Structure 1
């Protein structure tokens, strides 16, 4: 029994000496089978089932932990990290535009901006200036509609002179003419805003062969024109209401 305990505790080789060999001498088969049984029991005892089970569970847990990709920290892509942004890309595309097109487009926005700015500085609404802004806006919308004719008519143009390109370009000028016939400046400004939005939709969405700098220039110019027209309409309502209040007070004092 002592050699068995020694083998289990201290992992020493099992030896059968002296008297045990004599006891087993009469029946070698029994002795050999007994030694094999003892060795098998010792091997089973030396392996701890709890440790084996724990190692199996640890392996499964490790595999489960490493197999969940959504717990891992995702690193941003280089394209996302180096994205310059929409405004920066637009500014870079404007640098590629021809200088005459850029300067003439910026100069053409001055009549739109100057009208509401002058009325806001002086604090007075001028109907003549507002009507002049509406007239200039109608001419600008008609020019923007004619751009598509000039783009679609050449034989080498990617746009075909079909009904879609030629007929749609006449819609903004028709709306612009309708704005001139309206007596109310606010209604004319709203009509021009609708016409500018339709023309911008045609140039940006329906004709992708336009260069990027032209699309950026069209978007920026349309935003400035729309804000200027709406500012004139707001100033008309506010200044006229203020003028009517002041006239009522003056009449009440008399």
Structure 2
């Protein structure tokens, strides 16, 4: 097989020489260029024919070598680190909070949640229990408002005991007092929700930097308290509607 390849290569070189000679006769002006071209072709063909270590398989592998490289678009990109969301960061902040502050804050939410839950389970609205919830909410709002005084009065505190810091802390207690003046529990609950929102705005946005765990705890507590008060107001509206329907039915039957 190898002698046959050699003869083919030598025969090819002879044909190349004959072809270049013919071109040289036809084109006399470019004699130097065609001579250099014929010499290069003859040298390449002879080297290819005389190299015993160069097999057709190796030549084929050499030619196909660039095609085996994978394009950059198909390479796997390293996975990017996903940033934790707001909920995940909030949960992590709650885990970092001191245990007494966390447990006492959660325990303070029990009177808010238990009142509408108990009335919903029994299917009966109790005005005295609802008023007790409103009274507890007013005390809680007053405590949240006075907390700013305790934060601004120490000498090493980043907050200053100026008019803005101390006057803003009196707004939630005044709204809580106004809530107790209403005879309707629904109006009192709405006023307390407004006071809770203002106190939360002070603690999260206007106050000097509190710890992140405290801000998250304040947001969670405010949401739970507001929803509990609104749930009590909704149960009162449902009970009044049912009572009016029952009275109307009784009057219809009496007539």
TM-score, normalisation: structure 1: 0.70
* TM-fit CA distance, 1:188: 1.1
Aligned ranges 1:50-199 → 2 under 5 Å: 77-78=80-81, 80=82, 83=84, 85-199=85-199
1:104-155 C-alpha deviation (Å, 9 max, x unpaired):
2111111111111121122222211111111111110010001111001101
- Count of residue pairs the alignment pairs up: 207
Consecutive unaligned residues in structure 1, runs of 5 or more:
1-5, 24-30, 43-65
For residue 40 of structure 1, report the CA deviation from its aligned partner.
10
User: How far does the alpha carbon of each residue in 1:7-32 deviate from its partner, in whole angstroms, 9 at most, with x for none?
Assistant: 9x94878448xxx9xx9xxxxxxx6x
**Partner of 2:143: helix, strand, or coil?**
helix
**Residue 186 of structure 1: CA displacement?**
1.0
The answer to whether the aligner puts 1:230 opposite 2:226 as a matched pair is no
**Partner of residue 31 from structure 2, selected from 35, 42, 52:** 35
Separation of aligned partners in 2, 1:34 and 1:93: 85
In the alignment, is the contact (CA less than 8 A) between 2:115 and 2:129 conserved in 1?
yes
**1:103 and 1:208 mapped to 2: Cα distance?**
24
2:214 maps to which residue? 214
Q: Distance in 2 between matches of 1:12 and 1:168?
A: 106
How far apart, CA to CA, are the structure 2 residues paired with 1:74 and 1:163?
57
Structure 2 residues not aligned, in runs of 5+: 1-11, 39-71
**Equivalent residues of 2:158, 2:208 under 8 A apart:** no
Q: CA deviation at 1:87?
A: 3.1
The equivalent residue for 1:51 is: none
For 1:34 and 1:203, locate their aligned partners in 2 and report how far apart those are by CA, in whole Å. 93
Give the direction of change, closer, same or farther, for the CA distance of 1:12–1:148 in structure 2 (3 Å limit): farther
Asked if the contact 2:20–2:34 (Cα under 8 Å) also holds between the matched residues in 1, the reply is no
Distance 2:167 2:194 in 1: 17
TM-score calculated relative to the size of structure 2: 0.70
